[in-house]
A and B are shown apart, each in its own frame.
Chain A
Amino acid sequence: MVSRTTDDYEKLALAGCEILCEPAFWAGFDRSSADGFYDYFRQLTEYEPKRAAKFGIRHYSWLCINPKEADDPGFAREVMGLIPQFLDQPTVLGIGEIGLNKNTRNELAIFEEHVQLAVDRDLPILIHTPHLEDKLKGTRLILDSLAGFSKLDRGKVIVDHVEEHTISHVLDAGYWAGMTLYPESKCSPNRAIDMLEIYGSERLWMNSACDWGISDPLAVPKCALEMKRRLHTAADIHQVIYENPKKFLSQSPKFIA
């Protein structure tokens, strides 16, 4: 929500949002120093929870250096050195959104170092998969890489931004899958509902893209309305937009629903 105005918190509260979680992500530009990330991590762990609380919303976060800025390993490791001092903050749930952007060896190395950090501390992991033409290859690389972590609890990992060509790879490997809803260019509410109908709602959640591009914090409640139009029951809707995120996030002892 660092990219959103306070009005968006008000709209989320009016739509019935009780809790949100925000991953560390790209700022719309590459930061020039690790100090920029130090300030960003403070914003995520100190300022945003207070801003959300004014509207009765509990704000949780995930920390990392995002894959887009992780292609410079030296810089990425400098930023990663800042993360441990923030992990004990009361609203930090885990490591994310880590992953790949352009599917490079550098990105993959930093991804694996983040995974090891999470495994060492028994933290949940939120994984970003690349967009558009890079998604299928990147998802396969990520799943191949995760398979090498013998101590990884796959139930504590959610692989986000799945689409029709990647969802079965993620679910079949035993991970949670996230469908990120966008107003344009990527997964729409109706396609997400199609995937729910085909794959069922176990280990599947939806989230609203709230980034620097064209995105909509109310995408999830709008999708819930679309589910109702498509004759999904109130119980089914509640399961996917409330119970499933609660089940996954409750694996962090800090998460209180």
Chain B
Amino acid sequence: MPSKQQLLDLHFIDARHKLIDLAAFLDRMDRHPGEEDCRLQALRNVLPLLLEDRPDRARAVLESFSDTSSDLPQTAPFQGATGAPVPQKTGN
């Protein structure tokens, strides 16, 4: 099993690159006009998970991006997936 030092040598630059890309994405969203949607809020919601002291951050992030509804539609309302759960429409 590689040591922390070996893993840093292997993966730190890649992790740094991905983190800066995420920061730049958030800057870009702030800079551009128009309305955001549920995906950006879903992204913001998971960011604190990265700093939690736990062994399963990847799982927690995936769960946060998951549809937790229990209803089963008869047929698909749309095809494809957006990456974040679409808020359920209320009946009123």
Contact = CB atoms under 8 A, between A and B. Distances in A.
Q: Real complex partners, A and B?
A: yes
**Chain A, interface size: which category?**
20 to 34
Interface string A63-83: 000001001000000000000
A106 B62 contact: no
Given A71-B76, A108-B72, A136-B62, 19 more contacts: A102-B79, A103-B67, A104-B74, A105-B73, A130-B81, A132-B82, A132-B83, A133-B85, A133-B86, A137-B67, A163-B62, A165-B62, A165-B63, A191-B58, A194-B58, A197-B1, A230-B7, A231-B2, A231-B6
Contacts of B77: 102
A131 B66 CA distance: 10
B43 interface: no
Interface of B: 1-2, 6-7, 10-11, 56, 58-59, 62-63, 65-69, 72-79, 81-86
Given A133-B65, A133-B84, A231-B1, A105 B72 contact: yes
Query: In terms of DSSP, what is the predominant structure of the interface of chain B?
Result: loop
A133 B83 contact: yes
Given A133-B65, A136-B63, A102 B76 contact: yes
A190 interface: yes
Interface string A84-117: 0000000000000000011111111000000000
B66 A71 contact: no
Interface in A146-178: 163-165
Contacts of B1: 197, 231
Nearest to B57: A164
B76 A101 contact: yes
Contacts of B75: 71, 104-106
B66 A135 contact: yes
A134 interface: yes
A69 B11 CA distance: 40
A132 B68 contact: no
